[in-house]
Structure 1
Amino acid sequence: MSSVMGNFVNGTLLPSIPVVADSWEGYIAQAKELSSPRILLLACINIPIVVIVVNVLRQLLVPRRKSDIPVVFHWLPIIGSAIEYGNNPLKFFLSCQEKYGDVFTFVLFGRHVTVALGAKGNNFVLGGKSTAFGAEEAYQHLTTPVFGKDVVYDVPNHVFMEQKKFIKVGLTTDNFRKYVDMIVEEVEAFLENDPAFEVYQTGDTTKWGQFDPLEALADITILTASRTLQGKEIRSSLDKSFSKLYSDLDGGFTPVNFLFPNLPLENYRKRDVAQRKMSEFYVDIIRKRKEGKQHEDDMISALMSQEYRSGSPLRDHEVAHLMIALLMAGQHTSSITSTWALLNMAAKPGFVEALYKEQVQYFGTADGKFRSLTYEELRALPLLDATIRETLRLHPPIHSIMRYVREDVPIPPTFAAPSKDGSYVVPKGNYVLASPLVSQMDPKVWKKPSEWDPYRWSDPEGAAAQALKTYVDGNGEKIDFGFGAVSKGTESPYQPFGAGRHRCVGEQFAYLQLGTILATLVRKIEMRIPTGVPENNYHTMITMPKNPRHIHYRRRVS
């Protein structure tokens, strides 16, 4: 048999090849012998195509049950919608919402993630029972290698709630009053010494310099946090080995670590070494304090004195790991939020001047200078407060909050979902996701949601004021999850610090830190940004601004 043809051999598509054989069996043998490299090549090409085709046909042809939540169509199995979600979660969510409604499921590297959007979606996920939705399974693989064992998501929920109560002991109003001056001193010292503020240091009030707010605020945030919460030993070590440990540990707090926690990569090895050394660093401080009977008025001291309900004290390594958790979690959220605030402020120089005049009104003296900031007065500055709240609305640090589904959970019929009988069920083994970003950008709630407009918070009858009231007051509903009575806040479309049992325990300190840093910078420098506010970089754990993002500044006339 002689021919030039393409054919199937044992189910494999062969390319067209010239074959000369006396029988069909001879043709098969000759084809196999001549084309084995080509067969391997075509297999590498065809198998992925077949897998994709099967994945598409399964989505299109396999019938769905009434309780099945719509699944976002995706070409690639396993990977699913990871690329679209990772590049721009807001665009992805809004596109899916238009197609599927407020409830849908998407595939994220093998995980099935059920998204519940809007205020009702926030309430469904964040207000859910811990027996049904677990934060531990969702985040333990990311946080435990960074924070350490036996704290936060590495312990049962009721233990974590006790640990949050211990942290609140160190976050007192008396301490906050002391912290204001400390933060001001750190910011002023930074302006006087950091190379990026060379123009400021000359005292020339006519020249303009520029700085990267992301880099500057990262340094300022860790300096102020260490000076206030972390203790004098940490603050004195920031220019030494501790800074290197922090950098290596921070390298393990990325989306890649969240998705793939145990890859044999160098940054994972550095993360683990840094965690162990940083833990030893804190434990050594704790032991020296115990031996010397020292008492410092800081968070380490507050935690060292705490006991669980069982009567057991916090162990040294637990104190150390809680301090690492406070450092890492607070550093990211505060530095990025203050960065976004400065970028938006600099894009509106007239607004910066309004903030400056507010301080003149509240803190100005007869000789044209300023008296010291105070905690109570900082909290009462309406425009500064609105600046922080509007920045958190437009740029929430966390755009997605996940929980692991521990048991089948029906979605309430009152939830706005495209189910005819409200019978959707989130199956055990899925993840659920709430997005504060979507609810805080909802045009049905917020007027011109994409616009940074702090003045929206000054309208007592406006959407912002009502959302804040629901978040802060909870419509009169207070719940004690184990760390003191707090507003549940899960039904609010505004949730900058999360809601429910996992609402951030450091919320009030964050407002103090952000307010004091921003107020001090407004006093010291004028700002503008010729390139405008940059776009979001969603490829990081906390949504950062892309380049270019340099702010131009000049020193104010004293």
Structure 2
Amino acid sequence: MTSMNSTLDYANEAITKNLNIFLGLSLSYKISIVLLIPFVYNLLWQLYCSLRTDRAPLVFHWIPWFGSAVPYGMQPYDFFENCRKKYGDVFAFMLLGKVMTVYLGPKGHEFVFNAKVNDVSAEDAYKHLTTPVFGKGVIYDCPNSKLMEQKKFAKFALTIDSFKTYVPKIREEVLGYFKDHLNMDKNSGQVNVMKIQPEITIFTASRCLCGDEMRKKFDASFAQLYSDLDKGFTPINFVFPHLPLPQYWKRDSAQQKISSAYMSLINKRRSTGDIDPKRDLIDSLMAHSTYKDGVSMTDQEIANLLIGVLMGGQHTSASTSSWFLLHLGENPELQEQLYKELTELLNEKGGDFFDLSYEDLSKLSLHNSVIKETLRMHMPLHSIFRKVKNPVRVPDSKYVVPKGHHVLVSPGYAQTSERFFAFADTFDPHRWETSNASSGKGDEKTVDYGFGAISKGVSSPYLPFGGGRHRCIGEQFAYVQLGVILSTYVYNFKWKLAGKLPDIDWASMVTLPIEEDSNIIWEKREGCVL
């Protein structure tokens, strides 16, 4: 005991002595030391990590906490490829205080998407980002089991019978938008696809998913509210979900206004008893949203879920339709091939453009290939995260990802890599005529997470809608929506780029084209219905 007390006295004396030395320094020296300590700690921590054989190699970084945020944020796919060449498919990097373990390629897809829910959590990774946008009690702001049931509730609007009714509604919305916004009195004009496609997709999605009564509440200002919500999905929101900044105020205001619009209609129907579960998703949720434990969703949670569902129906389609219009603007020959495919189908039916049906969409193979190729080159989300709840071993390696770290997978990287797709930088829809990668199934085993059977295999390099329990349930709706939008453009217009193909705006977590460069020049076709 005497020896221990002597040691403590010596330690206290040393600390006091060093503290007095520090306090005796000039202010500039004090500031220098305080600033230097994090950098020294950062280097020592990285040295320690490099000596551990049970951790994935860590990408070196100079700046504490920020880590590799700049190269990752500016060009994530280039960053991944440069790291892969140095470290292999598995590596880790620091991102704004979070250690992200990356596993590239199909094996990484399998590792992350089919991981056990007890080991990795999408809810813990995204909750702080999505809750201010969607609201409480839904999507990632609830246990995973409830999210699976919410997906099941929402599938009312995603049946084949529903899709059949959506085709004429989407066509009507798109043509109406052209008439109101493109000045159809003229035979040609110029438009920015990043201004019109988000509006077209939100109008078509709301008409289909939320019904005619809710659609009437939507106008350009309502579309702007969804745009303000969209801006809640940026890297800074991922780390700091609440800051006193204008974009946060706009996000919160938009969430409240959209939620109030849904609540107004829900309250009206509740008070009058005018609830028809077959009418639209709103009524379906009001009638059928009781969990297995007997607890029903509150009306506010229904409104919040509707925000999430509609954003899901808008996000992918706004990005994808913008990109295929821009790529086709580079390729007039491909536009003519699409026009030929569409008119030949209509001629075989003996009908006109207004006779195009849900069943016909599957026969437009080149149209579907254009959508597939666009999704290959421009998967809406470039990175998908999970937070590790229990230590997980990386298959076929000695690496263990510890609790509290994150795992990251990037199907978008694989889809644009020469390792998996020849001439990956070339927009070539015809590649799908012979490729068997389009299914993304890997194997035919299925699993039901509570919202219907889906393919269990996620080992394909092509997974534009993700995989596993969090796979997007709106894939078929997206193809219907995008198919009608594309065919409506093709039948009525020819178009070309006003400049060069825009770069990707990596500032958002959604891979959108840079807005100021996204202009096309359109010209009416001879058979234009407007």
State the 1:280 CA deviation. Answer: 2.8
Match of 1:398 in 2: 381
Correspondence list, 1:138-149, <5 A: 138-149=125-136
Taking a change above 3 Å as real, the CA distance of residues 557 and 478 of structure 1, as seen in their structure-2 partners, is same
- Given the alignment, which residue of 263, 273, 295 partners 1:293? 273
SS in 2 for 1:404: strand
- Partner amino acid for 2:43? V
- Partner amino acid for 1:219? E
SS in 2 for 1:152: coil
**Is 1:304 paired with 2:286?**
yes
Match of 2:75 in 1: 88
Assess if the C-alpha contact under 8 Å between 1:117 and 1:439 holds in 2. Answer: yes
Match of 2:338 in 1: 355
SS in 1 for 2:42: helix
- Partner amino acid for 1:258? F
**Is 1:232 paired with 2:212?**
yes
Tell me which moved more, 531-540 or 310-319: 310-319
- 1:63-92: CA deviations, max 9, x gaps? 622212110000101000001100000000
Assess if the C-alpha contact under 8 Å between 1:305 and 1:313 holds in 2. Answer: no
Correspondence list, 1:145-156, <5 A: 145-156=132-143
**Is 1:277 paired with 2:257?**
yes
- Given the alignment, which residue of 214, 223, 232 partners 1:252? 232
SS in 1 for 2:366: helix
Tell me which moved more, 426-435 or 225-234: 225-234
State the 1:263 CA deviation. Answer: 1.5
- 1:109-137: CA deviations, max 9, x gaps? 10001001000001101110100010001
- Partner amino acid for 1:202? D
- 1:432-484: CA deviations, max 9, x gaps? 0000111112322211111111000001xx3xx2x22342xx52201001111
Match of 1:7 in 2: none
Assess if the C-alpha contact under 8 Å between 2:233 and 2:508 holds in 1. Answer: no
Match of 1:127 in 2: 114
**Is 1:440 paired with 2:415?**
yes
Taking a change above 3 Å as real, the CA distance of residues 407 and 375 of structure 1, as seen in their structure-2 partners, is same
Assess if the C-alpha contact under 8 Å between 1:442 and 1:449 holds in 2. Answer: yes
**Is 1:504 paired with 2:469?**
no
- Partner amino acid for 1:209? G
Which 5+ residue runs of structure 1 have no aligned equivalent?
1-9, 13-27, 414-421
Match of 2:7 in 1: none
State the percentage of identical aligned residues.
45
Tell me which moved more, 141-150 or 238-247: 238-247
RMSD: 2.3
Assess if the C-alpha contact under 8 Å between 2:198 and 2:223 holds in 1. Answer: no
Assess if the C-alpha contact under 8 Å between 1:171 and 1:509 holds in 2. Answer: yes
- Given the alignment, which residue of 191, 205, 208 partners 2:178? 191
Task: State how far apart, in whole Å, the 2-side matches of 1:244 and 1:534 are.
Answer: 22
- 1:327-362: CA deviations, max 9, x gaps? 223222210111011111111110011000000110
Assess if the C-alpha contact under 8 Å between 2:193 and 2:519 holds in 1. Answer: yes
Match of 2:203 in 1: 223
Match of 1:536 in 2: 504
Task: State how far apart, in whole Å, the 2-side matches of 1:378 and 1:239 are.
Answer: 28
Task: State how far apart, in whole Å, the 1-side matches of 2:422 and 2:375 are.
Answer: 16
Assess if the C-alpha contact under 8 Å between 2:371 and 2:482 holds in 1. Answer: yes
**Is 1:159 paired with 2:146?**
yes
Q: Count residues in correspondence.
A: 505
Taking a change above 3 Å as real, the CA distance of residues 58 and 287 of structure 1, as seen in their structure-2 partners, is closer
SS in 2 for 1:541: coil
Task: State how far apart, in whole Å, the 2-side matches of 1:365 and 1:409 are.
Answer: 56
Task: State how far apart, in whole Å, the 2-side matches of 1:528 and 1:240 are.
Answer: 26
Task: State how far apart, in whole Å, the 2-side matches of 1:170 and 1:530 are.
Answer: 38
**Is 1:65 paired with 2:52?**
yes
Match of 1:469 in 2: 439
Task: State how far apart, in whole Å, the 1-side matches of 2:226 and 2:213 are.
Answer: 15
- Partner amino acid for 2:438? L
Tell me which moved more, 501-510 or 325-334: 325-334
Assess if the C-alpha contact under 8 Å between 2:312 and 2:474 holds in 1. Answer: no
- Partner amino acid for 2:266? I
Match of 1:453 in 2: 428
Task: State how far apart, in whole Å, the 1-side matches of 2:220 and 2:204 are.
Answer: 17
**Is 1:211 paired with 2:191?**
yes
Assess if the C-alpha contact under 8 Å between 1:488 and 1:501 holds in 2. Answer: no
Assess if the C-alpha contact under 8 Å between 1:525 and 1:554 holds in 2. Answer: yes
SS in 2 for 1:257: helix
Task: State how far apart, in whole Å, the 2-side matches of 1:247 and 1:544 are.
Answer: 13
Task: State how far apart, in whole Å, the 1-side matches of 2:389 and 2:49 are.
Answer: 26
**Is 1:555 paired with 2:530?**
no
Taking a change above 3 Å as real, the CA distance of residues 354 and 163 of structure 1, as seen in their structure-2 partners, is same
Task: State how far apart, in whole Å, the 2-side matches of 1:381 and 1:479 are.
Answer: 30
Assess if the C-alpha contact under 8 Å between 2:444 and 2:457 holds in 1. Answer: no
Assess if the C-alpha contact under 8 Å between 1:237 and 1:243 holds in 2. Answer: no
Tell me which moved more, 220-229 or 304-313: 304-313
- 1:214-273: CA deviations, max 9, x gaps? 111111111111111122233111238644543443343322211211212233233233
Assess if the C-alpha contact under 8 Å between 1:364 and 1:371 holds in 2. Answer: no
Assess if the C-alpha contact under 8 Å between 1:165 and 1:484 holds in 2. Answer: yes
Match of 1:4 in 2: none
SS in 2 for 1:113: strand
Task: State how far apart, in whole Å, the 1-side matches of 2:478 and 2:145 are.
Answer: 24
- Given the alignment, which residue of 83, 86, 89 partners 1:102? 89
Assess if the C-alpha contact under 8 Å between 2:210 and 2:281 holds in 1. Answer: yes
Task: State how far apart, in whole Å, the 1-side matches of 2:221 and 2:194 are.
Answer: 22
Assess if the C-alpha contact under 8 Å between 1:365 and 1:371 holds in 2. Answer: no
**Is 1:479 paired with 2:417?**
no
Match of 1:327 in 2: 310
Which 5+ residue runs of structure 2 have no aligned equivalent?
1-16
SS in 1 for 2:269: helix
Assess if the C-alpha contact under 8 Å between 1:469 and 1:475 holds in 2. Answer: no
State the 1:48 CA deviation. Answer: 3.4
Task: State how far apart, in whole Å, the 2-side matches of 1:476 and 1:250 are.
Answer: 35
Task: State how far apart, in whole Å, the 2-side matches of 1:385 and 1:284 are.
Answer: 38
- Partner amino acid for 1:439? A
